[in-house]
Amino acid sequence: MSTRPNRTESTAGFAVDGIGKRLRILRMERKMTVKDLAEAAAVSVGTISQIERNLSSPSIRILERLRQAMDIPLMELLDASEKEVEPQNMIVRRSADRPRVELGDGAIVKQLLSPVGDHDIQFMYITLKPGVRQGDVLIGPGEKAGLVISGKAILEVDDVFYQLAEGDSFQFSSKLKHSILNDSDKETKILWIMNTNVRKIIF
């Protein structure tokens, strides 16, 4: 394929239960004021204030800036559970305890699968509604990989398009520009894997 498929692109903010409170706790643990975090992340004070009060949902790019400014992994910010972390939870993530991320009013749903903690490898279960392209993708050091569990998808890596079907897998450098599209009329489900030993990775 030589041209970009023309489909709905989901770049909206996402909803995660408790993310505002979680952001405030993590910020205060680092003794950062809202102004400190805003300057470090190049985000407005008003934006951070609205997120912390659950008045707005952060976009992926805003979340990445906040995460980098506090030097924390993605899981630490998204896993807003207040339950005490037991040793087994560092090894196992129960299906009922998966943090759930929704983008574009549910056009894309991501369930974080990795157990609690700062792991070198993180993975998630992604559901793409028909005709939706995940286009707000950040790049950085490391690698990403995945497996199409059901449905079809078009993976774009460095301006090259790859047709994927159920059972197909892929892997590429995170430094390359990339996105993924469900070009079918059915939902697509993907197991998405990230090498996060360098803390600059998010999908």
pLDDT tens-digit series, residues 110-147? 888 988 776 778 889 999 999 988 765 556 678 899 99
Query: Given this model, what pLDDT does residue 5 score?
Result: 54
Instruction: Please determine, for residue 1, whether its predicted confidence score (pLDDT) is greater than 70.
Output: no
Q: Report in angstroms the alpha-carbon separations of 56 from 47, 59, 62, 66.
A: 8, 9, 12, 15
The reply to whether the predicted model has a pTM over 0.85 is no
Among 160, 157, 159, 102, smallest CA distance to 129 is for: 102
Query: Given this model, what pLDDT does residue 135 score?
Result: 64
Phi, psi (degrees; rounded to nearest 5) at 109: -120, 130
CB atoms within 10 A of CB 180: 26
Query: Given this model, what pLDDT does residue 45 score?
Result: 95
pLDDT tens-digit series, residues 56-89? 877 767 887 898 899 886 667 776 554 445 666 6
pLDDT tens-digit series, residues 5-62? 545 444 344 455 578 888 999 999 999 999 999 999 999 999 999 999 988 877 767 8
- Tokens representing 193 are 């894997």
Domains in the chain, please, with CATH?
14-78 (1.10.260.40), 92-195 (2.60.120.10)
